[in-house]
């Protein structure tokens, strides 16, 4: 099997969380079947668009991995997709939708859209792997990156076995729709204390000298 | 203040909206179709380096400043692959300077704390799309603005949309 993988993130490949997730998925695919080959294009680099478009025409096993951007697909990925010529209904298309917020419910609106997308491109929908809580991948050292993305290795195997994510194992990967009340209480207090301190610390290391809730523009006329 | 962001350049549609609002002086229309507006590059600078400021320097800043001063934001868009257009989505993707990095729970879900205040949100679209999905998405956007949606309206429903601009 040969899989065309498209990274739909507008963030440059080096810093893209999606890119690290794709690496783990590929590792899983190769573990399942060493004969599997892949090719990867990143939408953040417009110079790759022509090749990616040509690959879309040529391949019948397509996996689009993308970050949730304001509740749906990023504007830049939408622009790329709008330049694709429709196919003839023999191509399988699956998605990996990953996000910052942790609960599965946060990704459902985006998933709803992705279900309709392959049909509009003349492809067959083969499921969406959903997972939140990925914001920090870009902020942590390489060994931590590996740890956070490790669960995706198994999902790479699942993809290779099912030629998509249309199966129970992939559905379960999404985790809880909402955190239960006791968990929310714990998280709330972490956000208000440790969370704030950590974000502040990161900001300082990025050269930020303002409070994170700073208002650069007038809030009234 | 009602802010109407038109991304279609369809003056007939804008006229229809304006005539519905006849004589009111509490609205402003931004014609974004020919503005220079790039996409969010995901640098996170607006949260962690230069809070509230987008590092992509183009005409989006004008929109952002006007959003901050408004109470209600209406997006007018064509459709692409059953969703809003890339230009319209890029404008919305770049609202994140209106929120801060800090997290909270709003009801049962995680959200980012708002930098300024909340804004109501509505969508008017012209083209093929599933209305129920467009409404769902508008509502999700509104949640990020700290409110609920005013609705998603097809072009033929402009009158109805305008009656919600209150
Ligand atoms: C403009 C923008 C909008 C985002 N919108 C959401 C969102 O609506 N919900 C969410 O959970 N995460 C959201 N995120 C977080 C990203 O989905 C998350 O950080 C992801 O891991 C980024 O992957 P990437 O590095 O490959 O771009 C947003 C990030 C950006 C930059």
Identify whether the C-beta of residue B79 lies closer than 8 Å to the C-beta of residue B128: yes
- B-contacting residues of A 47-76, CB under 8 Å? 67, 69-76
**Res. A48: pLDDT tops 80:** yes
Domain around A88: 2-178
Query: Using one digit for the tens of pLDDT, what is the confidence trace for B89-103?
Result: 999 999 999 999 999
Please give the distance, rounded to the nearest whole angstrom, from the Cα atom of residue B137 to the centre of ligand 1.
16
The residues, ordered by sequence, that sit 6+ positions from B56 with a Cβ below 8 Å of its Cβ are B38, B39, B40, B41, B94
Q: Are residues A113 and A55 in the same domain?
A: yes
Crossing angle of helices A151-162 and A17-32, in 10° steps, is 60
* Test site for ligand 1: of A74, A77, A99, most ligand atoms within 8 A of the Cβ: A99
Task: Name residue, tokens 């007038």.
Answer: A218
Residue B48 with chain A: CB contacts under 8 Å: 199, 202-203, 206, 208, 212
Asked: is B2-32+45-163 a CATH 3.40.50.360 domain? The reply is yes
Residue B52 with chain A: CB contacts under 8 Å: 214-217
Q: Which atom of ligand 1 is nearest to the CA of B94?
A: 1
Please judge whether A216 and B53 are an interchain contact, meaning their C-beta atoms are less than 8 angstroms apart: yes
Taking Cα atoms as reference points, which of A8, A172, A165, A161 lies closest to residue A79? A8
The residues, ordered by sequence, that sit 6+ positions from B64 with a Cβ below 8 Å of its Cβ are A217, B54, B94, B95, B97, B98
The span from the CA of A114 to the CA of A171, in Å, is: 15
**A36-70 burial: b if 16+ Cβ within 10 Å, else e:** bebebbbbbeeebeeebbebbeebbbbbbbbbbbb
Per-residue pLDDT 10s for chain B (166 aa) are 999 999 999 999 999 999 999 889 999 999 999 999 999 999 999 999 999 999 999 999 999 999 999 999 999 999 999 999 999 999 999 999 999 999 999 999 999 999 999 999 999 999 999 999 999 999 999 999 999 999 999 999 999 999 999 8
Q: Cα dist. A6→A64, A129, A162, A201, B132 in Å?
A: 5, 14, 19, 34, 28
Task: Name residue, tokens 């729709």.
Answer: A177
Nearest by CB to B80, which of A10, A70, A78? Answer: A78
Taking Cα atoms as reference points, which of A216, A70, A221, A213 lies closest to residue B66? A221
Does any CB of chain B come closer than 8 Å to the CB of residue A133?
Answer: no
**CATH code of the domain containing A65:** 3.40.50.360
- pLDDT for the residue numbered B58: 98
Q: Are residues A21 and A57 in the same domain?
A: yes
Q: What is the mean pLDDT of chain B?
A: 97
Does any CB of chain B come closer than 8 Å to the CB of residue A82?
Answer: yes
Q: Are residues A23 and A130 in the same domain?
A: yes
Q: Are residues A174 and A195 in the same domain?
A: no
Kindly indicate the confidence band of residue A40, based on its pLDDT and cuts at 50, 70 and 90.
very high
Query: In the predicted model, what is the mean pLDDT of residues A70-80?
Result: 98
- pLDDT for the residue numbered B23: 84
- Number of folded domains in chain A? 2
Distance to chain B for A191, nearest Cα, Å: 6
Kindly indicate the confidence band of residue A15, based on its pLDDT and cuts at 50, 70 and 90.
very high
Q: What is the mean pLDDT of chain A?
A: 97
- B-contacting residues of A 153-212, CB under 8 Å? 178-179, 184, 187-188, 191, 195-196, 199, 202-203, 206-208, 210-212
Q: Are residues A111 and A130 in the same domain?
A: yes
Task: Return the domain boundaries, chain B.
Answer: 2-32+45-163
- pLDDT for the residue numbered A220: 85
Please judge whether B47 and A212 are an interchain contact, meaning their C-beta atoms are less than 8 angstroms apart: yes
Q: How many CB atoms lie within 10 A of CB A147?
A: 11
Instruction: Write out the two tokens for B26.
Output: 């509490």
The span from the CA of B166 to the CA of B163, in Å, is: 7
**Res. A221: pLDDT tops 80:** no
Does any CB of chain B come closer than 8 Å to the CB of residue A46?
Answer: no
pLDDT more than 90, % of chain A: 99
Q: How would DSSP label each residue in chain B?
A: -EEEEE-S--HHHHHHHHHHTTT--SEEEEE-TTS---------HHHHTSTT--SS-STHHHHHHHHHH-SEEEEEEEEETTEE-HHHHHHHHTTGGGEEEEEEEETTEEEEEESS---EEEEEEESS--HHHHHHHHHHHHHHTTS-EEEEEEGGGHHHHHHT--
Q: Are residues A163 and A149 in the same domain?
A: yes
The residues, ordered by sequence, that sit 6+ positions from B20 with a Cβ below 8 Å of its Cβ are B158, B159, B162, B163
Query: Using one digit for the tens of pLDDT, what is the confidence trace for A89-128?
Result: 999 999 999 999 999 999 999 999 999 999 999 999 999 9
Paired sense of beta strands A61-67 and A2-7, if any: parallel
- pLDDT for the residue numbered B166: 87
* Ligand 1, CB within 6 Å, residue ranges: A 9, 11, 16-18, 67-71, 98-101, 106, 132, 134-135, 138; B 40, 42, 93, 96
Query: In the predicted model, what is the mean pLDDT of residues A132-148?
Result: 96
């Amino acid at each position: 099997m040969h899989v065309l993988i498209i990274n739909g993130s507008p963030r440059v490949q080096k810093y893209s969380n999606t890119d690290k997730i794709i690496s783990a998925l590929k590792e899983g695919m190769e573990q399942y079947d060493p004969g599997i080959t892949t090719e990867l294009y990143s939408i953040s680099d417009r110079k790759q668009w022509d090749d990616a478009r040509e690959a879309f025409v040529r391949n019948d096993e397509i996996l689009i991995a993308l970050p949730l951007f304001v509740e749906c697909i990023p504007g830049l990925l939408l622009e790329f997709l709008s330049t694709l010529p429709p196919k003839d209904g023999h191509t399988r298309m699956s998605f990996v939708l990953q996000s910052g917020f942790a609960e599965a419910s946060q990704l459902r609106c985006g998933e709803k859209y992705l279900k309709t997308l392959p049909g509009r491109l003349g492809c067959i929908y083969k499921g969406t792997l959903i997972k939140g809580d990925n914001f920090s991948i870009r902020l942590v050292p390489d060994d931590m990156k590996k740890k956070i993305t490790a669960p995706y290795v198994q999902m790479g195997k699942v993809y290779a076995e099912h030629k998509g994510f249309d199966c129970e194992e992939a559905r379960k990967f999404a985790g809880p729709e909402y955190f239960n009340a006791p968990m929310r209480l714990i998280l709330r207090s972490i956000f208000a204390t440790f969370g704030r301190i950590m974000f502040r610390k990161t900001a300082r290391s990025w050269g930020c000298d303002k409070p994170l809730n700073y208002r650069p523009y007038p809030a009234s006329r | 203040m009602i802010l109407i962001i038109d991304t279609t350049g369809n003056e007939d549609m804008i006229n229809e909206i304006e005539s519905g609002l006849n004589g009111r002086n509490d609205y402003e229309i931004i014609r974004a179709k020919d503005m220079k507006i790039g996409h969010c590059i995901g640098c996170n600078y607006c949260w962690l380096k230069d809070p509230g400021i987008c590092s992509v320097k183009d005409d989006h800043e004008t929109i952002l400043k006007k959003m901050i001063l408004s109470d209600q934001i209406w997006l007018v868009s064509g459709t692409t692959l059953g969703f809003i257009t890339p230009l319209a989505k890029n404008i919305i993707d770049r609202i994140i300077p209106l929120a801060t990095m800090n997290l909270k729970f709003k009801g049962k879900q995680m959200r980012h704390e708002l930098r300024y205040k909340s804004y109501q949100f509505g969508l008017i679209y012209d083209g093929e799309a599933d209305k129920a999905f467009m409404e769902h998405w508008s509502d999700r956007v509104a949640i990020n603005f700290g409110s609920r949606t005013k609705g998603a309206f097809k072009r033929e429903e402009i009158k109805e949309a305008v009656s919600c601009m209150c």
